[in-house]
A and B are shown apart, each in its own frame.
Chain A
Amino acid sequence: MSEPSLVLQATGLHKSYRSGDRQIEVLAGVDLTVGPGESVAIRGESGAGKSTLLNLLAGLDTADAGRLEWNGVGVTPSSATGLRNRFLGMVFQSFYLIPELTARDNVLMPRRIGGRIDAAARQRAEQLLSNVGLSDRGHHLPTQLSGGERQRVALARALMNQPPLLLADEPTGNLDERTGDSVIELLLGLCADTRTSLILVTHNPAHAAKTQRVLTLHAGKLHHG
């Protein structure tokens, strides 16, 4: 099967929220395309709507208007639920590891939700833990890991189902600069190695500069640079 020309295509996404009597338009017609293996950074001020955009792209929220396609297939929040497990991985600022599970079980969780855990899945989880430099920490609980280690576990988890697209929402926001740098290096390296497309939301211009394309969300629209 040939690779689709676009992994993600968003056209004219609108989103507004009601705040008291006012209607606040957060996204005013966002267009975005991401090709296979491409990395895109989205920057913007706090409150510019970066997380809102990411939630729409992940099919977690409903746009007021606009169209979203994953691998050329139109998706809505209801149809996205079934596809999300295989199509995209997500990395969050606060890691969001399940505290009752070990690092290994956290990595395996997307596969568990998508189906059964077999030997191949366990082997892949070990490989991913090894890739993020945590092969000897698989049996540790999140509380026994540092912030950087937790984010690396979250990264391994996001890649578990070999998704074509990875969405990262300020993944270094809770980390110190040095740890943040290493996590970004790892994130970009792994995505490049596996030809996983990446949308990285970040405040950090240095991190954004490491991606292939930098966009800025301003006044509800995406701008180059």
Chain B
Amino acid sequence: MPWYFYLALKQLFPSGRRFPFFTAISVLGVALGVGLLVVVTSVMGGFGYEIRRMIVETEGEVQIKSRALIADADRLVEQIERVPGVDAATPYASGVVMIVHEGRPAYPAMRGLDLTTVGRVVNLSHYIRLGSMDDLDDDSVVLSSELAQSLGVTVGGRIEVYSPLMIEKLRSDEIFLAREVRVVGILEIGHQQLDSSMLYCTVRLAQDLYGLGSSVHGINVRAKSGVGEDELAARLNASGLPRGVQAFSWMDSFEEFLWVLNLEKGMIFFLLLFIVIVAAFSVMSSLLISVVRKTREIGLLGALGARARGVAACFCVQGVLIGFFGTAAGLILGFVALALRNDIVLTIARFTQREEALRRFYQFSNLPAHTAPGDIILIIGLTLVISLFAGLIPAWRAARLKPVEAFRNE
């Protein structure tokens, strides 16, 4: 081990001292900054990640949408499934309906599923909390959990479904009765907006309610493993889709939202980085004091034959070591806080009696977190570079100190 590295270690962790106060405070400052960065970037990343998971698991990676109705869905599904990278595709019909149960109305978004193909694209069964997707037929529906709760209906209950088609029928003096259907399942995805306002039925029921005939509104596409959603959407658009029909990756569909999310994440990262910079300034200040305090030792090192660059390296290494240990401690701190995040947030929410507001505002039943390896590498890299800079100025001061001046000042 080079002498300057050894001496740097010894100055940070002196022999015979269990708690080196200066080192502990310096490391703690960096650790707090790194811990906060890890928590915040993970939570901000978690929102984007949860939205992706939710969309991909309920709609597939790519959605085929049309300005008009898609008339020959089966042929288009076959065409799409021939495109390399496509695992499976399923048509859907969608719209808004009014549902009533025991006089209580609600206006959920309806999604009509093709039961023969939907299972290959999305895994809604995974989110069923009561009942079963297998029981779904043309006279039944599956409701999202909060919608069912607000209506006071459960599996086995019956609801009436009204569609905008009825208004059209009324205009031509036709009577179109509400469709009475059974509730065969309660589904909970974990996203407040979806859990409060989704109704799933067969595509045939949706087509009946909207008078679509055999047409559909769009097709959901599942990508093969390892195929990127943007790449697949581009391939599909280049595969000769009918006029007016276009493929969108889930990111295209939520482009603005994801941009805002990334902007927020970037801004918060930038602001929190200042905590690390402030910590680095305190490290620099401590090391500068150390240079003054250790003037005679610096002189001694010169007298023992140490070169100025070795003396500089000794102080530089101290900055980097504080950064290294601070980063390690900060990562541990951050990951522990992330593991306990839901307990922490719920405790605060309970304490302030804002539990419901929290769920409504943040859409998720749990505080999401997703730690991207790239973010962690960036945090580690930036912290070490900042720590290195924190050590450079004291190192420069120490290197400039001539042994003879050090002894004379002493």
> Which of A61, A83, A109, A141 lies in contact with B3, CB distance below 8 A?
A109
B404 sits at the interface (CB 8 A): yes
| B305 proximity list for chain A (CB < 8 A) | 81-86, 110, 113-114
Give the distance in Å from the alpha carbon of A154 to the alpha carbon of B297 in the complex. Answer: 13
Contact with A along B292-305 (1 / 0, CB 8 A): 00001101111111
Asked whether, in the complex, the Cβ of B404 is within 8 Å of the Cβ of A61, the reply is yes
Docked pose: A151 CA to B302 CA in angstroms: 19
Closest to A86 in B: B305
- Measured CB to CB, the closest approach of chain B to A141, in angstroms, equals 5
Contact A60 B303 (CB under 8 A): yes
Contacting pair A55 B404 (CB below 8 A): yes
Interface residue range, chain B? 20 to 34
Contact present for A84 and B303 (CB under 8 Å) = yes
**Minimum C-beta distance from A150 to chain B (A):** 13
| Complex Cα gap A82–B307 (Å) | 8
Determine the residue in chain B with the shortest Cβ distance to A90: B303
CB of B410 within 8 A of CB of A94, answer yes
Main SS class of interface, B: helix
Is B15 in the interface zone, CB < 8 Å from A? yes
B15 adjacent to A85 (CB under 8 Å): no
A125 within 8 A of B: no
Q: What chain A residues lie within 8 Å of B403 (beta carbons)? A: 60
Which chain B residue has the least Cβ–Cβ distance from A154? B300
Over the window 88-113 of chain A, the binary record of Cβ atoms lying under 8 Å from chain B Cβ atoms (1 yes, 0 no) is 00101010101111100100011011
- Bound-state CA distance A141–B15 (Å) is 8
Cβ distance B101 to chain A, nearest Cβ, rounded Å: 76
Instruction: Please determine whether B303 and A58 come into contact, CB atoms closer than 8 angstroms.
Output: yes
Q: B402: which A residues are within 8 A, CB to CB? A: 60-61
Chain A, residue nearest B15 (CB): A102
Which A residues are in CB contact (< 8 Å) with B7?
Answer: 98, 100-101
B14 within 8 A of partner (CB): yes
- Give A140 Cβ to nearest chain B Cβ, in Å: 9
Cα of A90 to Cα of B306 in the assembled complex, Å:
13
> Which B residues touch A90, using CB under 8 A?
303-304
**A98-B7, A112-B6, A113-B3 are known contacts. Are A84 and B304 too (CB-CB below 8 A)?**
yes
Interface string of B334-350 (1 = CB under 8 A from A): 00000000000000000
Do B296 and A94 have beta carbons less than 8 Å apart?
yes
Partner of B304, one of A99, A109, A141: A109
Q: Is B274 engaged at the interface, CB distance under 8 Å to the other chain?
A: no
Name the distance in Å between B46's Cβ and chain A's nearest Cβ.
44
Q: Is the CB of B11 within 8 A of A100?
A: yes
Please indicate the chain A residues that have their CB under 8 angstroms from the CB of B16 in the complex: 102, 141
A99–B20 Cα gap in the complex (Å)?
A: 13
The residue on B at minimum CB distance from A51 is B407
Question: Is the Cβ of A112 less than 8 Å from the Cβ of B303?
Answer: no
B310 interface residue per 8 A CB criterion: yes
In the bound complex, what is the Cα–Cα distance between A105 and B7 (angstroms)? 10
CB neighbours of A98 from chain B (8 A): 7, 10, 297, 300
Please tell me which one of the listed residues B10, B307, B407, B410 contacts residue A101 in the complex, with CB atoms under 8 A apart.
Answer: B10
Among A81, A92, A100, max chain B CB count under 10 A is at A100
In chain B, positions 262-305 with a C-beta closer than 8 Å to chain A are: 296-297, 299-305
Cα separation A127 to B7 with both chains bound (whole Å): 23
Q: Give the chain A neighbours of B310 by CB distance below 8 A.
A: 113
Q: Do B15 and A113 touch across chains, with their CB atoms under 8 A apart?
A: no
* A58, B300: Cα distance in complex, Å: 12
CA distance A55 to B405 in the complex (A): 10
Residues of B within 8 A of A112 (CB): 3, 6
How long is the Cα–Cα vector from A168 to B17 in the complex, in angstroms? 31
Q: Please give me the residue from chain A that is nearest to B410 by CB atom.
A: A94
Which B299-321 residues have C-beta < 8 A from chain A?
Answer: 299-308, 310
Q: A55–B403 Cα gap in the complex (Å)?
A: 9
11 A-B pairs whose Cβ atoms sit less than 8 Å apart in the complex: A51-B407, A60-B404, A61-B404, A81-B305, A81-B307, A82-B305, A84-B304, A94-B410, A98-B10, A98-B300, A100-B14
A residues contacting B by CB (< 8 A) are 51, 55, 58, 60-61, 81-86, 90, 92, 94, 96, 98-102, 105, 109-110, 112-114, 141
Residues of B within 8 A of A (CB): 3, 6-7, 10-11, 14-16, 296-297, 299-308, 310, 402-404, 407, 410
- Known interface pairs A58-B303, A81-B308, A85-B305; 10 further A-B residue pairs with C-beta atoms within 8 A, sorted by A's residue number: A60-B403, A81-B305, A82-B305, A85-B306, A96-B297, A99-B297, A101-B7, A101-B15, A102-B16, A114-B305
